[in-house]
C-alpha cells in the first residue's frame, strides 16, 4: 500500500523588499531537482519533511532545519547578492493519499512553527505539533501526526519503551525508511531514526510495521512480559530488604524460607527471638510472654529469693557474653577465609587469562613452549621440581585445553565457596548484633535488680516492673506478628503475579508467532538482488547478500553489511533496499509505505556514472507501479540531461538560487 504522493511544494519568504518564492510541482515516477551547490536544493527537500511535521528525521533536533536565508537574511542572486531581511517565511505542500484525496499543509518557518494548517475541500483546520499536556500530536485529535496517519490510512501500533511503558510508534520512526537526507542519511539504512523517543528496537519495529509481519504484537508481548517479570523480582528484593530492616529495628533474626523463582510454594519470611541461646518463633514468644504476665499477677505468691533471681540473670548474661565472643571469633575467621579465597580467585583468574591467551597464540601458529612456566602449581602455589625422588611411574601432564577447563572449574568452585561464606558472614554478623542487643537489655535488668536488692519492697517493685516490660514486649511482638503477616501476603501476591507472567512467557515462546516474515523476506531479497545487479554491484557478492530475519536489515553471510562493503557499494545497497521496499508495497495491501522516496544527493562517495544512470532508470520505473521518487542533485546539467533523455522523467533545473525575488519594493 503506497500511502502518499507529493504534488507540489511552495516556499515563501517575505522581506521588507518583497517576496522570495518558489513552487515545484511533482509527478508520479521520477522527479529530479537539479541545481548547483548552495542554491537551495536541500532547502526544498527539507521543506517536504518540515511541512509534514517530520523535521526530526532530518538529523539531531535543531531549532530550524533550514539556512539563514529563510529566517534571517536572504540574497536575490549569486552575482548581485543584494541582501534582504526576513520578516516572515512559510512552506506549503500539496499531498494526495491513496484514495485520491488532496490536502494542502501550510507551516511557518519563521513565525508560529508549532502550528500546521490543513486545507481540504476549501475548509482549513489548525493542528498542533509536539505535546499538549500529557497528550502528543500523534494521539490527540488536534495533533498533526494523528491527522497525517489517518490521511495516509495507517493505524499506528503501540510499542514498548525502555522503561516498559507502551508508546505510539511515531511517524518520525517510520519515514527514515523513505526519506534519505544528505548529511547523515547515507551513512546507513534508517540512519536518521530519532533516538530520543526511548523505543526499544525502534528500527526493527519500524520495519516490522512497514513489512506487515505478524510478529510485531508477539514481540511486544514478549518484551512486556519480560519487563513485568523483572519488575516483580525487583519488588521481591525490595520487600526482603524492608523485612531485614524490620528485623534489625526489632532485634530479631530473619529467615527467608523458599525461593522466589520456585514454581511451587511462595517464599515467606519468619522472625525469630533469641531466648536462652535458642531462637523461637513469634508465636512461641507471644505464648511465653502471656504465660509470664499471668505468673506475675498480683495474687501470685513470689517465693523466689532475690539473690536467686540475681544469680539467674547473671548466669543468663554470662551465657550471652560467651555466645557473643564465639560469634565474634567466627566472624573474624570467616573474614580471614573470605580474604584467602579472594586472593586465590585473583591468582586463578590471572592463570586462567594467561592460558586463554596462550591458547589463542597457539591457534594463530605461535610457539608457546617457552611461555609455559612450571615453577609453581597454579592451584596450590607450591614449588614444582623436576624430580621428586625415585619415580615409579610417569604420567603425561595435562594439555593446554585440560588446564583451561580445570582452572575454569576451580574458579567456579572458589567463587561458589566465597558466595556461600559471604552469606554465612552476613548471618553471623546479624546474630552478633542481636546478641549484643540482648546483652544490653539483660544488663539493664541486672542493674535494676541490684539497685533494689536492699529495698524491703524491692521484689514487689521488680515484679511490677517486669510485668510492665512483659506487657510492652507483648505489644511489640503482636505488631511484629502483624507486619510478618503483611509481608508474607505481599510476597505471596508478588509470587503469584511472577508465576502467572512466567507461565504466559513460556507459553508464548513455545507457541511462537504465526509470522509470514519468511515469505515477505524472500520476496524482498529477490527484488533487492535484481536491483543490486542493475546498479552494477559485484555479481558474486550479490548472492551472499540477504535480509536478516532478526533485524530485517541487509546482511552479508550473516554479518552486518556496513562492515563488509565499501562506502560506494553501501550506497548502492541503500538505493536497492529503499526502492525495493516501495516496489513490494505497491502490490501488497499488507505492506505499508509512505508512497514516495526522497534521495538528497544520491550520487554519494563518487558512485560510478553508469551506476547512477542505472539508478535513474530504475527510479523512473516507479511510474509503472504507481510509485514516486524525488531526487535532488548537483550533477552536471549536460550529463544529467543526457541520462534523462527519452525517459519519462520530470526534470526541474535551476541556474541560480531556487528562491527568486518576485517583486522588489522601491
- Within 8 A by CB and 6+ apart from 264, the residues are none
Question: Are residue 158 and residue 276 in the same domain, yes or no?
Answer: no
pLDDT of 138 > 90? The answer is no
pLDDT interval class at 3 (50, 70, 90): very high
pLDDT of 298 > 60? The answer is no
Which grid coordinates are listed for 71? 529566517
Question: Are residue 41 and residue 140 in the same domain, yes or no?
Answer: yes
CATH number of the domain that residue 192 is part of? 3.40.50
Question: Are residue 140 and residue 246 in the same domain, yes or no?
Answer: no
* DSSP structural state of residue 369: G
Q: For residue range 411-430, what is the model confidence (pLDDT) as tens digits? A: 999 999 998 888 888 888 87
pLDDT of 572 > 80? The answer is yes
The pLDDT, as a whole number, for residue 396 is 54
Q: Sign of the C-alpha dihedral, residues 270, 271, 274, 275? A: negative
pLDDT interval class at 147 (50, 70, 90): very high
The pLDDT, as a whole number, for residue 236 is 92
Please identify which residue in the block is written with the cell numbers 510454594: 265
- 577: in domain: no
The pLDDT, as a whole number, for residue 33 is 95
The pLDDT, as a whole number, for residue 605 is 60
Question: Are residue 239 and residue 314 in the same domain, yes or no?
Answer: yes
> Within a 10 A sphere around the Cβ of 471, how many other Cβ atoms?
14
The pLDDT, as a whole number, for residue 18 is 92
Q: Which of 424, 406, 414 is nearest to 343 (CA)?
A: 414
pLDDT interval class at 117 (50, 70, 90): very high
Question: Are residue 125 and residue 274 in the same domain, yes or no?
Answer: no
Question: Are residue 123 and residue 249 in the same domain, yes or no?
Answer: no
Q: For residue range 32-60, what is the model confidence (pLDDT) as tens digits? A: 999 999 899 999 999 999 999 999 998 76
pLDDT interval class at 132 (50, 70, 90): low
> Within a 10 A sphere around the Cβ of 133, how many other Cβ atoms?
6
Q: Among 53-67, 251-265, 387-401, 452-466, whose mean pLDDT is lowest?
A: 387-401
Q: Which of 469, 464, 445 is nearest to 302 (CA)?
A: 464
Last residue of a domain, one of 487, 511, 535: 511
The pLDDT, as a whole number, for residue 285 is 79
Q: Which of 171, 201, 147 is nearest to 55 (CA)?
A: 171
Which grid coordinates are listed for 559? 554479518
Strands annotated E in 423-568: 545-547, 554-556, 559-560
pLDDT interval class at 104 (50, 70, 90): very high
The pLDDT, as a whole number, for residue 447 is 75
Of 532 and 398, which is predicted with more confidence? Answer: 532
The pLDDT, as a whole number, for residue 305 is 57
Average pLDDT over residues 441-464: 66
The pLDDT, as a whole number, for residue 381 is 54
- 119: in domain: yes
Instruction: Provide the pairing of β-strand 29-34 with 649-653.
Output: parallel
Question: Are residue 375 and residue 467 in the same domain, yes or no?
Answer: yes
The pLDDT, as a whole number, for residue 299 is 41
Percent of the chain with pLDDT over 70: 85
The pLDDT, as a whole number, for residue 460 is 63
Give the range of the structural domain holding residue 147, as residue numbers without chain letter. Answer: 4-209+588-661
Burial 319-350 (b: 16+ CB within 10 A, else e): ebeebbeebeebbeebeeebeebeebbeebee
Of 547 and 297, which is predicted with more confidence? Answer: 547
pLDDT of 371 > 50? The answer is yes
- 354: in domain: yes
- 327: in domain: yes
pLDDT of 550 > 80? The answer is yes
Last residue of a domain, one of 477, 493, 511: 511
How many domains are contained in the chain? 2
- 602: in domain: yes
The pLDDT, as a whole number, for residue 30 is 96
Measured in Å, how far apart are the chain's first and last C-alpha atoms?
52
The pLDDT, as a whole number, for residue 575 is 93
Question: Are residue 131 and residue 41 in the same domain, yes or no?
Answer: yes
The pLDDT, as a whole number, for residue 402 is 83
Average pLDDT over residues 343-350: 90
- 538: in domain: no
pLDDT of 300 > 60? The answer is no
pLDDT of 465 > 80? The answer is no
Average pLDDT over residues 500-523: 81
Question: Are residue 104 and residue 250 in the same domain, yes or no?
Answer: no
* DSSP structural state of residue 57: G
The pLDDT, as a whole number, for residue 128 is 92
Question: Are residue 275 and residue 182 in the same domain, yes or no?
Answer: no
Which grid coordinates are listed for 633? 542533485
pLDDT interval class at 385 (50, 70, 90): very low
The pLDDT, as a whole number, for residue 524 is 92
- Dihedral angle over CA of 299, 305, 307, 312, nearest 10: -70
Of 564 and 604, which is predicted with more confidence? Answer: 604
Last residue of a domain, one of 493, 511, 529: 511
- 73: in domain: yes
Question: Are residue 144 and residue 176 in the same domain, yes or no?
Answer: yes
Of 592 and 663, which is predicted with more confidence? Answer: 592
Average pLDDT over residues 570-592: 92
The pLDDT, as a whole number, for residue 391 is 45
The pLDDT, as a whole number, for residue 118 is 96
Helix (H, G, I), strand (E, B) or coil at 516: coil
Q: Which of 449, 446, 448, 427 is nearest to 438 (CA)?
A: 446
CATH number of the domain that residue 280 is part of? 1.10.287
The pLDDT, as a whole number, for residue 563 is 57
Average pLDDT over residues 616-621: 93
Average pLDDT over residues 534-562: 83
Q: Among 442-446, 527-531, 624-628, 644-648, whose mean pLDDT is lowest?
A: 442-446
The pLDDT, as a whole number, for residue 461 is 64
Average pLDDT, the chain: 84
> Within a 10 A sphere around the Cβ of 262, how many other Cβ atoms?
11
Question: Are residue 306 and residue 445 in the same domain, yes or no?
Answer: yes
Percent of the chain with pLDDT over 90: 36
Average pLDDT over residues 223-243: 90
pLDDT of 13 > 70? The answer is yes
- 323: in domain: yes
User: What is this structure's pTM?
Assistant: 0.63
Amino acid at each position: 500500500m503506497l500511502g502518499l504522493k507529493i504534488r507540489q511544494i511552495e516556499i515563501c519568504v517575505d522581506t521588507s523588499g518583497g517576496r522570495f518564492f518558489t513552487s515545484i510541482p511533482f509527478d508520479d515516477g521520477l522527479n529530479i531537482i537539479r541545481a548547483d551547490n548552495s542554491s537551495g536544493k536541500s532547502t526544498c527537500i527539507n521543506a517536504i519533511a518540515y511541512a509534514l511535521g517530520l523535521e526530526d528525521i532530518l538529523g539531531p533536533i535543531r531549532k530550524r532545519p533550514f539556512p539563514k536565508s529563510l529566517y534571517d537574511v536572504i540574497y536575490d542572486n549569486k552575482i548581485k547578492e543584494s541582501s534582504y531581511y526576513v520578516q516572515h517565511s512559510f512552506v506549503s505542500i500539496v499531498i494526495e493519499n491513496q484514495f485520491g484525496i488532496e490536502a494542502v499543509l501550510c507551516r511557518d518557518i519563521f513565525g508560529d512553527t508549532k502550528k500546521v494548517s490543513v486545507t481540504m475541500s476549501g475548509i482549513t483546520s489548525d493542528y498542533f505539533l509536539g505535546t499538549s499536556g500529557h497528550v502528543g500530536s500523534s494521539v490527540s485529535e488536534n495533533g498533526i501526526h494523528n491527522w497525517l496517519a489517518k490521511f495516509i490510512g495507517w493505524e499506528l501500533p503501540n510499542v514498548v519503551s525502555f522503561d516498559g511503558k507502551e508508546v505510539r510508534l511515531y511517524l518520525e520512526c517510520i519515514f527514515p525508511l523513505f526519506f534519505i537526507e544528505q548529511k547523515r542519511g547515507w551513512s546507513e539504512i534508517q540512519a536518521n531514526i530519532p533516538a530520543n523517543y526511548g523505543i526499544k528496537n525502534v528500527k526493527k519495529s519500524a520495519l516490522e510495521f512497514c513489512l506487515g509481519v505478524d510478529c510485531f504484537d508477539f514481540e511486544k508481548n514478549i518484551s512486556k512480559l519480560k519487563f513485568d517479570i523483572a519488575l516483580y523480582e525487583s519488588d521481591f528484593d525490595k520487600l526482603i530488604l524492608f523485612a531485614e530492616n524490620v528485623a534489625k529495628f526489632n532485634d530479631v533474626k530473619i529467615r527467608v524460607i523458599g525461593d522466589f523463582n520456585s514454581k511451587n510454594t511462595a517464599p515467606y519470611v519468619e522472625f525469630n527471638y533469641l531466648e536462652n541461646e535458642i531462637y523461637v518463633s513469634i508465636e512461641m514468644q507471644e505464648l511465653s510472654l502471656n504465660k509470664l504476665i499471668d505468673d506475675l499477677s498480683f495474687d501470685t505468691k513470689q517465693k523466689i529469693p532475690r539473690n536467686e533471681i540475681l544469680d539467674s540473670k547473671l548466669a543468663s548474661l554470662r551465657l550471652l557474653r560467651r555466645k557473643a565472643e564465639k560469634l565474634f571469633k567466627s566472624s573474624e575467621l570467616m573474614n580471614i577465609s573470605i580474604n584467602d579465597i579472594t586472593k586465590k580467585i585473583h591468582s586463578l583468574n590471572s592463570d586462567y587469562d594467561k592460558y586463554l591467551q596462550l591458547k589463542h597464540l597457539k591457534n594463530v601458529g605461535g610457539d608457546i613452549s617457552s611461555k609455559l612456566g612450571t615453577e609453581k602449581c597454579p592451584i596450590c602455589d607450591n614449588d614444582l621440581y623436576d624430580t621428586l625422588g625415585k619415580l615409579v611411574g610417569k604420567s603425561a601432564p595435562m594439555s593446554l585445553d585440560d588446564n583451561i577447563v580445570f582452572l575454569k572449574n576451580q574458579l567456579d568452585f572458589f567463587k561458589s565457596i566465597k558466595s556461600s561464606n559471604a552469606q554465612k558472614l552476613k548471618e553471623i554478623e546479624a546474630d552478633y548484633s542481636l546478641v549484643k542487643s540482648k546483652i544490653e537489655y539483660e544488663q539493664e535488668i541486672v542493674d535494676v535488680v541490684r539497685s533494689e536488692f536492699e529495698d524491703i519492697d524491692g521484689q514487689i517493685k521488680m515484679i511490677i516492673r517486669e510485668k510492665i516490660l512483659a506487657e510492652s514486649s507483648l505489644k511489640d511482638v503482636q505488631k511484629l506478628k502483624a507486619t510478618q503477616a503483611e509481608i508474607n501476603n505481599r510476597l505471596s501476591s508478588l509470587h503469584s503475579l511472577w508465576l502467572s507472567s512466567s507461565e504466559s512467557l513460556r507459553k508464548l515462546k513455545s507457541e511462537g508467532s504465526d509470522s509470514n516474515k519468511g515469505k515477505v523476506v524472500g520476496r524482498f531479497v529477490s527484488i533487492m538482488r535484481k536491483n543490486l545487479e542493475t546498479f552494477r554491484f559485484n555479481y558474486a557478492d550479490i548472492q551472499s547478500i540477504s535480509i536478516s530475519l532478526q533485524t530485517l536489515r541487509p546482511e552479508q553471510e550473516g554479518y552486518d553489511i556496513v562492515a563488509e562493503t565499501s562506502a560506494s557499494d553501501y550506497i548502492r545497497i541503500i538505493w536497492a533496499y529503499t526502492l525495493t521496499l516501495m516496489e513490494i508495497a505497491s502490490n501488497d495491501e499488507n505492506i505499508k509505505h509512505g508512497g514516495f522516496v526522497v534521495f538528497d544527493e544520491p550520487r554519494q562517495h563518487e558512485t560510478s556514472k553508469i551506476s547512477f544512470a542505472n539508478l535513474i532508470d530504475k527510479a523512473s520505473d516507479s511510474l509503472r507501479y504507481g510509485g514516486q521518487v524525488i531526487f535532488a542533485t548537483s550533477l552536471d546539467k549536460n550529463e544529467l540531461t543526457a541520462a534523462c533523455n527519452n525517459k519519462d522523467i520530470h526534470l526541474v533545473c535551476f541556474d541560480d538560487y531556487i528562491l527568486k525575488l518576485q517583486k522588489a519594493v522601491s
